[in-house]
Structure 1
Amino acid sequence: MKRILVPTDFSVASRSSLKFAIELASRAQAEVFVLHMVVLPLLQETTFGIQPIPADEQELQKATKAANKVFEEIRKQFPSKVEVHFNTMHDDIVSGMQVFIKEMGIDQIVMSMHGSGDLEEFFIGSTAEKIARVSSVPVLSIPGDVALESIRNIVFPSNLAPDQDDLIKDLKDLQRMLHAKLHVLLINTPVHFCNERQAQERLEQFAKNYSLCDFTINFRSHQFESSGIIEFVNEIHGDMVAMATHGRSGLAHLLKGSIAEKVLHKIDYPIWTWKLK
């Protein structure tokens, strides 16, 4: 983890995520890139059918200048030895972030679960979920003001599938950076059923295969995976959930949904999502 992206709408919540990112970057010896997306209302010309009108250059410059002024206030609010870069873009929020991630070599996103103002939908609802679903790098969603030191127990729900080397490597790096205990969780459902002996064997083999350290293995039965995960987090007083997401889109997403997104809707803990390749 060397380059952390923090998208911001300048809300209190997004500033809290920046504070968390700076703490994380300090521990990881990383850089922080703050990104504000300048989104102007889309104008349309209808003389020859509906045609988009390019954004007015003066309005873009005005919005960018206003953003830079807020950046200066934020820089004073969060003095840090960590190198923090402030950036603006004019683009669609999701596609613009993907371009920025690629161009700047970002390897982690830290963002707020909540926002306010004109870009509130950026942080809550479908857009935040889409970022977690399509992002090529892990996304850490923060619910409000969370101190890095408060994260001591990470819950990792998994189907224990093989060939998760990259995911587990990043997860172990996160665990070491947070000095946290890892709780591997297998949820037994009517759709994906296994008995307790089989589950114990699979969990033990999974931990051995990936040389896990400072961990527990756990097996719970529940009708729905997302509800089982949330109940377990509350049971052990977990501080963070780390989950893989398949990054489904289109019809596949409508039919299958996303367990990670369901959990994101219902918990008030930091959640780290990693899109399976």
Structure 2
Amino acid sequence: MKITKQLSFLVAFCLSLLFLSSSVAAAELPGQAQKIKDAGVLRVGVKQDVPNFGYLDPQDNQYHGMEIDIAKEIAQELGVKIEYTPVTSHTREPLMDNGQVDLIIATYTITPQRQESYAISTPYYYDQIGFLVNKKSDIQNPKALDGKTIGVSQGSTTKANLKAFAKKNGLSFNFVELGSFPELAISLYAQRIDAFSVDKSILSGYTSKQTQILDQGFNTQEYGIASKKSNGPLINYINSLIEKWNQDGTLKQIQETYNLKSKQPTKN
């Protein structure tokens, strides 16, 4: 009888410790993360037209890609479901502004200007801006694009970066801005533009037998997870997850799943 009481006390004590640790863990979540946990759903803005990053497959009507897997990891940490909202480079910020999404994980390049208006995580991926051209054009390097027309995505930082690149190298570009990457790829195939420019890893999803990515790229890009400026504590929590995933290899494993290689710049 005495042993039974002791066992009962031990079980009760262990359960109380488990409950206490869970309560402490929950208390450690920043306000917005706790709200997401209480709501039971994480609302994430993702790309639906970028193979390997965020792509809505018409065959199974499911999202796939590195950024989709990152969203799943965050949701798993919080113990909630995910609600995906498709975004474009043009709609990402308005969706954050009006509170329709909790996070944007959509090839969002970190810039000082964006950091002034939004809370953005540490980088989870690094890449370079590149050029996709038609093989028949015989364009082998960016200098051969002098005076030609380059297609870029509306709302992206690519156009500004290309202008700076052109000025630095004594070149001149004409621009066509379209709303989606598939539109830009189609315009290139139809020879309405001479090159389609965005980050190389994104371009890799639009190569074909008739196109190629130029070897020369420029201006290393850093992708971050973004939210409203007031959600800074939530992004600090995301930063702790990114740090953990970098240390335990989770982030590298996700990238390798989609044959992606983050090109983090070397420090001198």
* Same fold per superposition (TM over 0.5): no
Q: Which has the larger radius of gyration?
A: 2
Query: Per chain length, whose mean CA-contact separation is higher, i.e. which structure has more relative contact order (CA < 8 Å, sep 6+)?
Result: 2
The alignment's TM-score, normalised by the length of structure 1, stands at 0.24
The alignment's TM-score, normalised by the length of structure 2, stands at 0.25
